[in-house]
Chains A and B, each alone.
Chain A
Amino acid sequence: MSRKNMLIIVLLLIGIGGMIALEGYIKPRAHAQAIQYEAEQNDPMTHDIRNSLSFASPYMGNAGNFINLNASLPLREIGRTFQLYPEEQTAELRFQAVAGALKEEKLKEFLLYNSTANFVMIDNLEKLIFAFEDQVFSISRDKVETWYGSTESLASLRDAKTWKTEVQSRLQDAEYVSDYVEKLVEQQEAL
C-alpha cells in the first residue's frame, strides 16, 4: 500500500474518531449542561443576575430593553406580551399562563426577585404589573425602596455581589419572601 493510501486511511480514522467523540460525548454533555443552566436561570434561587445587568437603563420607555431584561429573568420560558404606560411610568407583563398552576413558594420568589430586578435596572419605572390569566400582581417602586431601606439604594443592587447578599440569598427565608409579597404586592383576580 502506498504512503498516500496509508495517509487516507489514517485521516479517515481520525475523522471518524473525531465525529464519534463530538457527537457521542461532547455535544450530549454540552446539551445536558445547557439544559441545567437554563433550569438554573429559570429559578430565582440560582439565577445569575450578571446576565441582566447589561439591561440597566434610566428609561422605562425603552421597550426593547424592557422585554430583553424580563427575558433574562426567571419565568422566561413562559410566553408573554407587554404593555407600557409612559404617562404613569408603568409597565405591564402579560404572561400566557395561570398563576395558580405555579407552586406557591416559587410564585412568591418570582414576584420578589423579578419585581426587585425591574426596579433596580430601570430607574424611572414607578409601577410594575405581572398579569397572569387568572391573577394580576401590582408592585410600586416606593414600597420596594422602603423595603430595602435607607442602607441600600436600589441602584446599588446593580452589583452582582450585593445582589446576591441583599436579594438572592434572602429567598431561602420563606418567611421573608411571604412578608415581601403580603406587604408590597397588590393582588387581584384577572377580569
Chain B
Amino acid sequence: MTNRHDLEIFVDRLFANQRRTKEVVELKNEVLSNLEARVTDYMENGMNYQSAISLAIDNIEDIESLIDDNQKIYSYRYRYDLVQSALIYSLLAWIASIPARILPSGIAVNGLLLCLVVLSGVVYLSMSRHLKVYEKQTAVINAGKLFKWSKAAWGLWGIFVIVVSAYSFAMQFGSDVWFGRELRIDGPYSFYVTVLQYAIPLTSIFIPLLIHKACKLTIKHEVNEQ
C-alpha cells in the first residue's frame, strides 16, 4: 500500500507556484494518480516503499511545460469585477487617508485617492448598465504573465515602502546629524504627524492588492468548455 499523504505533500509542493485553475487542478490530480500507480507497481516488483517513492518522484517531468498560460475567460464579467474591486480598494485607501488631511501631503494623497474613487465609480456604474448584454463575452488572456506581475508588484511595493520609510527616518531622526538639533516629539500632535509620515505611503498597498485580485479573478471567470 502506498502512503497517499507523502505523495500529496510532494505534489502540493510541485504545484505550489502554479495558479489554481481547473486545468492545473486536473493536471495535479493526474500527476498524483500517476505517482500512486507507479509506486504501487514498483512495490509489487519487490522494491521497498522509500525507494519506490524516490524512483517515482525522480521520473516526474517538468510541469511548467505542461501548463498553458493562455486562459479563456468571461472578459466583461472579469473587467466588471476588477473595476468593482478597484472601487472598494480605492474607497478603503481614501477612508484610511482621511486622518492624514491634517498635513499638506495628506491632502494631496487623499485628494488623489478621491479622484480614483470617482473615476472607478463612474466606470463601475457605466459597466453595470451593460452587464446583461456583454455577460457572455469571452477573451483569452495570458494568466501566467499576470501571475508573474502580481508577484513583481508585491516585490516593488515592498521596496517602495522600505525606501520611503528609510528616507523619512533619515530626514527626521538624522536631524541631530544634519542640523545639530535632536528630534523632539513633545506632544500627541507631534507624535501623530511623525506616525502619519510613515503611514501615508502604506495606502499605496491597494495597487499590488488590485493586481493580485486581477490574477485571482482569472480563475473565477474561467470559461468551462465542458
Please indicate the chain A residues that have their CB under 8 angstroms from the CB of B98 in the complex: 15, 18-19, 22
Please indicate the chain A residues that have their CB under 8 angstroms from the CB of B88 in the complex: 4, 7-8, 11
8 Å CB contacts to A: which residues of B94-109?
Answer: 94-95, 98-99, 101-102
Please indicate the chain A residues that have their CB under 8 angstroms from the CB of B87 in the complex: 8
Could you give, for residues 1-34 of chain A, a 1 whenever the CB lies within 8 Å of some chain B CB and a 0 otherwise? 0001001100110110011001100010010000
Chain A, residue nearest B85 (CB)? A4
Please indicate the chain A residues that have their CB under 8 angstroms from the CB of B92 in the complex: 11
Return the contact of A14 from the options B84, B95, B99, B101 (Cβ within 8 A).
B95
Which of under 10, 10 to 19, 20 to 34, or 35 or more describes the interface residues of A? 10 to 19
Please indicate the chain B residues that have their CB under 8 angstroms from the CB of A46 in the complex: none
Which of under 10, 10 to 19, 20 to 34, or 35 or more describes the interface residues of B? 10 to 19
User: In whole angstroms, how far apart are the Cα atoms of A45 and B95 in the complex?
Assistant: 42
Q: Is B181 in contact with chain A by the CB < 8 A criterion?
A: yes
Could you give, for residues 78-121 of chain B, a 1 whenever the CB lies within 8 Å of some chain A CB and a 0 otherwise? 00000010011001101100110110000000000000010000
Q: Is A54 in contact with chain B by the CB < 8 A criterion?
A: yes
Take A4-B84, A54-B181, A54-B184 as given contacts and tell me if A23 and B91 are in contact as well, using a CB distance cutoff of 8 Å: no
Chain B, residue nearest A9 (CB)? B91
Residue positions of A touching B, CB distance < 8 A: 4, 7-8, 11-12, 14-15, 18-19, 22-23, 27, 30, 54
Taking A8-B87, A15-B94 as known contacts, 12 extra A-B pairs with beta carbons closer than 8 A to each other, sorted by chain A number, are A8-B84, A11-B91, A12-B91, A14-B95, A15-B98, A18-B98, A22-B98, A22-B99, A27-B101, A27-B102, A30-B102, A54-B181
7 A–B contacts, CB within 8 A, in A order: A4-B88, A11-B88, A11-B91, A15-B117, A22-B98, A27-B101, A54-B184
Which 6 pairs between the two chains have the least Cβ-Cβ distance? A11-B91, A18-B98, A15-B95, A15-B94, A22-B101, A14-B95
